[in-house]
Amino acid sequence: MAVTPEPVWPDGRRSCVMLAFDVDGPSGSAMVDGSIWGMPRLFVQGAYGPFRAVPRILDLLERLGVPATFFVPSWVVEHWPDVCRDILASGHEVGHHGYRHERYADLSVPEQESVLQRSQAIFEAQLGVRALGFRTPTGDWHEATPRLLAEHGFVYSSSFRDDDRPYRRVIDGRVSDLVEIPAPVELDDYAYFAFTEDPPFPKGHDRIAAYRVTLSNWCKEFDGMHRAGGLLTTTFHPKISATPGRAVVLERFVEHMVAVGDCWFATGTEVARWVLSHPERFAVRGETGWDGVREEGT
């Protein structure tokens, strides 16, 4: 297993890191159903992300000279436009993450189109750019979502869990230009740190993980991905993993990856463009294997 992986990244780099943050702020299911307006403490706890944590992260990235991708629900863009402009001005990327962090699996096709169009209009009006990247808010997407993303000019999604490097997605039986950049749950800070009193999260009010152990897990995931020559992306939420103390951990994690030296730090669009310009180096994946299995069985 110590074999050098086949080189797929620019300049002979061994692995790739797409550092990514989901700036949900107070958006999410409680904003979609409107209950957030009766939960001012939950609102303020969520708003901590764009208000305090994103500025802290931008400082950190500047110190370490690393680019990142921020998936921002457009409601957050509307209410924190200056913070989002600062993300772009600092050389990072912004991607789509719903309007109020809607779960795409719950939306009809016209509803999905409406969220995409409204969000792109907000991005253009407030930030002067359209999103090229997409990350599913709250779990699953709808079976029509990938087709809609391709039709609306998206270049990539970073939503799935099914590989440790990007691939080109098959949509309606044809290889599309929509790249998928899988994001492993081990690098999702919710699995370690997220906590709300009421409603309880995690549901059983599990303990907040040890920061030291979390950092160790993350570093091991990176070390393994680097060994395997893959791509590691993160699902870090500023409000969760950029409190004052956790930002110290985040900084140590990024320092650990930077110290390796031959890792390509890229934004989502840079990764997707690289995949599309070197199609022979990356896999093509079907929609799902499950339908085929089911058909064979019947």
Partner 1 sequence: MTRALSPTPGRWPEGRRYAVVVTVNFDAELALLGPDPSLASLEKTLSIFRYGAVRGAPRLLEAFSDRGVPTTWFVPGALVRPYRSLLDEVAAAGHGLGARGQRLERFDRLSEGACRDALHAARAAIGEVTAADDVGFRLPSGEWPPGLAAQVLDAGFGWSSSWTGDDVPFLVPAGDGRALVDVPFGHTMHDRLAFAWNFAPPMPLGQSRIASYEDVLENWQLELEGCRREGLCLVLQLHPEVAGTPGRIDLVWRFLDAVLETGEAWVASGSEVASWWRRHPGSGPEHPVELLRRVSPGSLT
Q: State the Rg of the chain over Cα.
A: 19
Give the residue among 25, 119, 19 at the shortest CA–CA distance from 69: 19
278 is an interface residue for partner 1 by CB under 8 A: no
CA distance 186 to 214: 10
β-pair partners for 179: 156, 168
Q: Of 204 and 261, which CB lies nearer to partner 1 in the complex structure?
A: 204
Which of 45, 138, 176, 217: binder of partner 1 (CB under 8 A)?
Answer: 45
Site string for partner 1, 175-204 (x = CB under 8 A): --------------------x-xx-x-xxx
Give the N- to C-terminal CA distance of the chain in Å, as an integer. Answer: 39
Q: Of 180 and 251, which CB lies nearer to partner 1 in the complex structure?
A: 251
Q: Of 5 and 91, which CB lies nearer to partner 1 in the complex structure?
A: 91
Binders of partner 1 in range 234-273 (CB under 8 A):
243-249
Q: Of 256 and 281, which CB lies nearer to partner 1 in the complex structure?
A: 256
CA distance 188 to 204: 19
Which of 109, 121, 125, 208: binder of partner 1 (CB under 8 A)?
Answer: 208
Residue 25 beta carbon to partner 1: minimum distance, rounded to whole angstroms:
9
Give the residue among 30, 48, 41, 33 at the shortest CA–CA distance from 237: 48
Residues 215-254: b if buried by 16+ CB within 10 A, e if exposed: bebbeebbeebbebbbbbbbbbbbbbbbbeebbebbbebb
Task: Let me know: does 242 contact 24? Beta carbons within 8 Å.
Answer: no
CA distance 191 to 24: 16
Residue 212 beta carbon to partner 1: minimum distance, rounded to whole angstroms:
5
Q: Of 125 and 213, which CB lies nearer to partner 1 in the complex structure?
A: 213
Task: Note the Cα 59 to chain centre separation in Å.
Answer: 20
- Count of residues interacting with partner 1 (CB under 8 A): 43
Residue holding tokens 């029509």?
144
Return the amino acid letter for 108.
S
212 is an interface residue for partner 1 by CB under 8 A: yes
Using the contact rule CB under 8 A, the part of the chain among 34-42, 112-120, 143-151, 174-182 near partner 1 is 34-42
Q: Of 89 and 109, which CB lies nearer to partner 1 in the complex structure?
A: 89
Task: Let me know: does 88 contact 94? Beta carbons within 8 Å.
Answer: yes
Q: Of 174 and 203, which CB lies nearer to partner 1 in the complex structure?
A: 203
Residue 159 beta carbon to partner 1: minimum distance, rounded to whole angstroms:
28
Binders of partner 1 in range 53-112 (CB under 8 A):
55-56, 58-59, 79, 86
Residue 35 beta carbon to partner 1: minimum distance, rounded to whole angstroms:
10
Q: Which residues bind partner 1 (CB under 8 A)?
A: 26, 37-48, 51-52, 55-56, 58-59, 79, 86, 195, 197-198, 200, 202-208, 210-213, 243-249
